[in-house]
């Protein structure tokens, strides 16, 4: 009897989630069209995802969708172009391994990237780098050059550089200080990272 009750509760919960996302997409027709164009499908509400896969994240109204790794970057950037009163970003990266889809999230009530970094409670695991330090660093960069955060997960941040900084080498040194793995497990040197930043116009951070 208990198992039946749990099953009924799960079904009812999925209906509530579906109604919530349908209401949001009905209001945001442009978002609906973009998600449909990239074959993105609704997975769960943000709170449900956060409670299972994230930590230190406060409850937020929002939704999580899945789509192919090849489409996720373009999909997120198109939604960011039209977002108003919510923030769209990649929340999970699987790089197409085993055909597993990537995840994007839309959090309602956040339309500022610094607020997003705070809300996601991202921190440098294993390097004693706090969320406050990360936010302060991005806040300083926002006064020096223009960028858009396109992804925040349990252990990564990614951002597009829109207006270039005066010195990519200076930026690379600051990135290395905050996220050593980007060099030690990635570019190989600060100079190589500076070259990569200049070539890709993108910043990527991960903490194991």
Interval 57-69: pLDDT, tens: 988 999 999 999 9
Q: What is the pTM of this model?
A: 0.89
Smallest CA-to-CA distance from 197 within 171, 178, 179, 176 is with 171
For range 88-105, the mean pLDDT: 94
DSSP string, 111-147: --HHHHHHHTT--BTTTTB-HHHHHHHHHHHHTTSEE
Between 16 and 46, the more confident residue is 46
Interval 144-202: pLDDT, tens: 999 999 999 999 999 999 999 999 999 999 999 999 999 999 999 999 999 999 999 99
Tell me the two tokens of residue 5. 């009750």
């Amino acid at each position: 009897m208990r198992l039946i009750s749990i099953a009924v509760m799960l079904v009812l919960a999925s209906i509530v989630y579906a109604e919530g996302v349908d209401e949001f997409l009905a209001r945001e027709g442009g978002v609906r069209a973009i998600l449909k164009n990239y074959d993105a499908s609704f997975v769960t509400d943000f709170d449900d995802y956060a409670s299972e896969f994230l930590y230190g994240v406060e409850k937020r109204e929002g939704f999580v969708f899945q789509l192919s790794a090849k489409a996720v970057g373009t999909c997120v950037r198109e939604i960011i172009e039209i977002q108003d009163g919510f923030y769209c970003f990649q929340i999970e990266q699987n790089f197409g391994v085993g055909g597993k889809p990537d995840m994007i999230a839309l959090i309602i009530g956040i339309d500022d990237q610094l607020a997003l970094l705070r809300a996601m409670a991202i921190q440098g695991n294993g390097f004693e780098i706090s969320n406050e330090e990360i936010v302060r660093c991005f806040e300083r960069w926002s006064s020096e050059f223009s960028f858009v955060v396109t992804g925040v997960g349990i252990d990564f941040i990614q951002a597009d550089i829109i207006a270039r900084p005066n010195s990519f080498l200076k930026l690379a040194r600051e990135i290395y200080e905050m996220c050593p793995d980007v060099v030690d497990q990635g570019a190989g040197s600060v100079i190589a990272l500076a070259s990569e930043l200049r070539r890709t116009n993108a910043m990527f951070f991960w903490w194991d």
